[in-house]
Amino acid sequence: MLPIGALLAGCAVFSLFLLLQGKSPAEFFALVYRAGFGTAFSWENTLSRAAPLLLAALCVALPARLGLVVIGGEGAIVLGGVGAGFAGVLLSGEPAGVALPVMLLAAMLLGALWIGAIGALRHYRGVNETIASLLMAYIAIALMNHLVEGPLRDPASLNKPSTAPLNEALRVGTIPGWNVHWGLAFGVVACVLAWVLIDKTTWGFAARIAGGNVRAAQVQALPVGKLILSFTALGGAFAGMAGFFEVAAVHGSANASLAGGYGYTGILIAFLARHNPLAIVPVAILLAGFEASSGLVQRRMDLPDATVLVLQGFVFMAILMSETLYGRFKVFAPERWRTV
């Protein structure tokens, strides 16, 4: 209820922003609809963009169920991409059935280590996970730049330093009948699995207790440290998986395009979905549609393509502000108003 209100409020403020520039909000949203959801082609475009967003949002939502605000999924995506790209180069002679799983595992492992390290810093050293994850994302991007411009660079990549291009056999294809790569299916399955984990298993229940009140979890002698490590690592593994698909299905090699901001859009999606993995699916598709439209908006309305980022920014502000409204209104929390 509130997230939808926040989404609308963000759009309303954004409309004012457009009006100030003499542009028509109606035209803008009509274009977004056309570019994102109007035709079969635009749907395919949107869904392809949704794949990494689903996985990036899980990297925020899973730790969030333990009360941790991890905003550095971008780092895990980037390192996962480099890992997948490098593994792909090493295994270029192997059959896809061997090489692709290894590449995927390498990407997930790197992502898990990166975000899991943030969980470990939090649990063992009391380091604020939000700041740590943000800063470590910059370290990850710098590491990637170092690797693709240095030791892992393909001498043939001149303008855009990259790892060597993947063997054609090691590229992930599209889902049969659609022009959408397999990352979407993996992303949706990952969301469902995450939901099952949180809602249907004892391990997820323990995590919800720790997220609901860590003192209560400690008094119940629940293994809070293990929960933090496993949930941050799992979130990181999903983000690493996003990196794998970016390399193996989209770019064909690891390069600076990996730091495309999916990790940051994922934060917005997770918050809009209130960290519910099932809600992440529609929200990610909606936001992917917004992003898919930026090119058309730029051409038709003569607006810079960053305009869509401005919209995202307004929506995110509205979401964060709406968090303080929980329990303030009778309609949202009627039970709180019963006693004095």
Partner 1 sequence: MSTVATKRGAIGVETLHMTMRFGGFTALDDCSIKITPGSFHALLGENGAGKSTLVKCMMGFYHATSGEILVDRREARITDPRAAHALGLGMVYQHFTLVPSLTVAENLVISREDAPRIIDWRAERADLQAFMDRMPFQVPLDQSVRALAAGEKQKLEILKQLYLGRRFLILDEPTSVLTPDEADEVLSHVRGLCQDGVISVLMITHKFREVTAYADQVSVLRRGKLVGGGRVAELDHTDMAALMMSDATLARPAPRSGMRGAPVLELDGITARDRTGLKDIRIDRLCVHAGEIVGVAGISGNGQMELMEILTGQRPYRSGEIRVKGAPYTARRDDAQRHNIRFLPEEPLHNACAPRMSVSDNIAFRSFDRHGGFWLSSRDMRARASDLVQQFKVKTTSIDVPISALSGGNVQRTVLARELSGEVDLLIISNPCFGLDFSAVSEIRSRIMQARNAGAAVLILSEDLDEIMELTDRVLVMSGGALTYNAATAEADIATIGYHMGGHA
Question: By the criterion CB under 8 A, which residues form the site for partner 1?
Answer: 199-206, 208-209, 211-213, 215-216, 218-223, 330, 335-340
Q: How far is the CB of 126 from partner 1 (least distance, A)?
A: 14
Of the candidates 220, 55, 235, the one whose C-alpha atom is nearest the C-alpha of residue 129 is: 235
Least distance (Å) between residue 74 CB and partner 1:
29
We find the least distance from the C-beta atom of residue 28 to partner 1, in angstroms, to be 37
Partners of 2 in beta bridges: none
CA distance 219 to 29: 51
Rounded CA-CA distance 63/78 in Å is 19
CA–CA gap between residue 163 and residue 86 (Å, rounded): 7
Tally the C-alpha atoms within 13 A of residue 127's C-alpha that lie toward its C-beta.
Answer: 16
Minimum separation from the CB atom of position 198 to partner 1 (A)? 10
User: Which C-beta is closer to partner 1: that of 41 or that of 326?
Assistant: 326
Q: Where are the alpha helices (DSSP H) in 70-182?
A: 73-90, 96-125, 129-149
Distance CA 68, CA 74 (A): 16
Decide whether 217 or 284 has the Cβ nearer to partner 1.
217
The structure tokens listed for 239 are 């983000």
H/E run at residue 158: none
Report, in Å, the least distance between residue 334 CB and partner 1.
9
What is the nearest approach in angstroms of partner 1 to the Cβ of residue 9? 24
Which residue, 25 or 225, is less far from partner 1 as judged by CB? 225
* Nearest to partner 1 of 178, 203 (CB atom): 203
Q: Which is nearer to partner 1, 39 or 220 (CB)?
A: 220
The span from the CA of 306 to the CA of 294, in Å, is: 8
In whole angstroms, the minimum distance from the beta carbon of 62 to partner 1 comes to 17
Residues sharing a CB contact under 8 Å with residue 120, sequence separation 6 or more, in sequence order: 229, 232
Q: Which is nearer to partner 1, 209 or 303 (CB)?
A: 209
First to last CA, the chain: 25
Q: Which residues contact 175 (CB under 8 A, 6 or more apart)?
A: 181, 182, 184, 185
Residue number with CB closer to partner 1 (48 or 322): 322
